[in-house]
Amino acid sequence: MIQRERWEELRRLRAAGVGIAEIARQLELDRKTVRRWTHQASWQPYQRAARSDTLLAAHAEYLRTRAPEVEYSARILYQELRQQRGYTGSYETVKRNCSPRPVSTGVTSMSTLARDAGAATRCGVPRAA
């Protein structure tokens, strides 16, 4: 992943007719990275793909409905998941991913856990605009 400033420099050098290998040497990048980024029409920040294979993914609907009912208590949610639903993950995972705070703009493994009308949420709490 390269930052916007390096992408702009890369594009400027390429437009000036500098070869991919030379750009890679100057910017200390792999030439395949240079080649890929020269073909990008615009700079896009890196976004991690959402994962559906996490331990909490199987309990997404339950967490969406239950979390507000228990005031987002990670301890209660964790105990219920372990006792009633066979969850084998850690308490820290539940605590980290089921809080009333808004999801960051970056895609996280649980950002798809609770989507309400297209707004990213965690356990059913709409993200602040």
- For residue 107, being part of any structural domain is answered with yes
Supply the range of the domain harboring residue 34.
Answer: 4-38
Tell whether 46 is covered by a domain. Answer: no
Question: If you compute the radius of gyration of the chain from its CA atoms, what whole number of angstroms results?
Answer: 21
pLDDT at residue 125 is higher than 60: no
Residues 62 and 119 in one domain: yes
Same-domain pairing of 76 and 118: yes
**pLDDT tens digits along 4-26:** 898 899 999 999 999 999 999 99
Tell me: the pLDDT tens digits for 51-67?
A: 667 888 888 889 888 99
CA–CA distance, 44 with 63 (Å, rounded to integer):
32
- Classify residue 92: in a domain, yes or no: yes
C-alpha–C-alpha distance, residues 115 and 41, integer Å: 30
pLDDT confidence of 126, banded at 50, 70, 90? very low
Does 68 lie in the same domain as 23? no
